[in-house]
Amino acid sequence: MQDPRSSSTLEEHIMSTTLFEKIIAREIPADIVFEDDSVLAFRDINPQAPTHVLIIPKKVIPRVGEAQEEDQLLLGYLLLKAGEVARKLNLENGFRLVINNGRDGGETVPHLHCHLLGGRSLEWPPG
C-alpha cells in the first residue's frame, strides 16, 4: 500500500487520507478532548453513550490486527491515555473501551481507534 504522505500532489494527498488523518491534520473539525505528540482523543460524532470519545494514534495503523511488533509501546500508550481521558471526563462509575476490527467487527474507519464509552450503565454482551 502506498504511503499517503508520498503522494505527489496535495490533491492526491487529500483524496488518499482517511477521515481520522484529516482530523489529525485539522482539515476537518472535531471536538478534541486530549492531544499530545502520539495520540489524539475526540468526541464521536454519533455518540452511543453520554460520553463517547475516540482515542487514536497519530501514526497510521489501519487496525489492531495489522499492528506490528514496533507498535507495541504505542498500543500500550493508547490504553494508558484512554484511562487518563476517562479520569479527565469523570467516568469514575466505570467505562468501556472497544476496538472494532474489520467488517465483522463493525469497523468503518480504517485508522485504528479505541472507543471510550461511559456515562451510563453498559450492557453485556454487546450486539
Measure the CA–CA gap between 60 and 44, rounded to whole angstroms: 19
Interface stretch with ligand AMP, choices 3-11, 69-77, 82-90, 104-112 (CB under 6 A)? 104-112
Look up 13 and say whether it is catalytic. Answer: no
Rounded to a whole number of angstroms, the minimum distance from the CB of residue 8 to ligand AMP is 27
C-beta of 122: minimal distance to ligand AMP in Å?
15
Q: Which of 42, 30, 36, 85 is nearest to 58 (CA)?
A: 36
Q: Which stretch binds ligand AMP (CB under 6 A): 8-16, 37-45, 64-72, 73-81?
A: 37-45
> 102-105 long-range contacts, Cβ below 8 Å, gap at least 24?
102/63, 102/65
φ and ψ at residue 10, rounded to 5 degrees: -60, -40
Which residues would be at the binding site for ligand AMP (CB under 6 A)?
19, 28, 30, 42, 44-46, 54, 100, 106-109
